[in-house]
Amino acid sequence: MTAWADLSRSRSARVKALDAWWQSCAGDSLPDRADFDPSTFTPLLPFLLLSEVEQPFRLRYRLIGTAVRDVAGSNFAGRYLDEILPNSAEEEPWLDHYHTAYETARPLYGSCRIRTLSGGHTEYEFGIWPLGHRQGAHQDVAPIGAEAVRQFIGLEDYGDWRGRVRPLRDELADWQYALQAGAGATAPRLPR
């Protein structure tokens, strides 16, 4: 549940690989979404999120990788970040993280905790990289600054998560069962 601007604090090879691409494309301007060739990053695709910025500042997810979808328990592509965030002080402040990357027009990295099948927690690392938008076929991307940020590419590196992380949909199933069965019933314990 912490974020940082210094890549050297990150241990994730996936975060570092995507950052190397972003840094190689950035200079006096932000990389454009069109600069990202998915075929170059096939191993990263399940962990990626692509979102767009609307004004006033609001974030809508356009694409969600399969690992992100599976861990989240749903495909939230097309939805706004503020619509899917739980109202809990224990949750990662995702809106703040994106807003920081927006205001600074620089990548932001971090780590947060997620529940495991055994009922414990494990940490995963993430990165958020701002993207610009070309104004025309032969024009440069807008200079770096918050006004230039049009999209974000994010990465959530769960490591080897299959069989270790409990998808949120399983926790939702516990609650849905209890609500359907009535106030006196208890939800069955799902394998963790």
Q: What is the mean pLDDT of residues 156-182?
A: 58
The fold of the 2-166 domain, in CATH, is Beta-Lactamase (3.30.450)
All structural domains of the chain with their residue ranges:
2-166
Q: Judge contact between 154 and 51, C-beta under 8 A.
A: yes
Please report which confidence band the pLDDT of residue 76 belongs to, taking 50, 70 and 90 as the band edges: very high
SS3 for the chain is CEEECCHHHCCCHHHHHHHHHHHHHCCCECCEHHHCCHHHHHHHHHHEEEEEEECCCEEEEEEECHHHHHHHCCCCCCCEHHHHCCCCCCCCCHHHHHHHHHHHCCCEEEEEEEEECCCCEEEEEEEEEEEECECCCCCCECECCHHHCCEEEEEEECCCCCCCECCHHHHHHHHHHHHHHCCCCCCCCCCC
Asked if pLDDT for residue 165 goes beyond 50, the answer is yes
Q: Judge contact between 155 and 127, C-beta under 8 A.
A: yes
Give residue 184's pLDDT: 47
Q: What is the pLDDT of residues 113-125, one digit of tens each?
A: 877 666 777 789 9
Give residue 175's pLDDT: 46
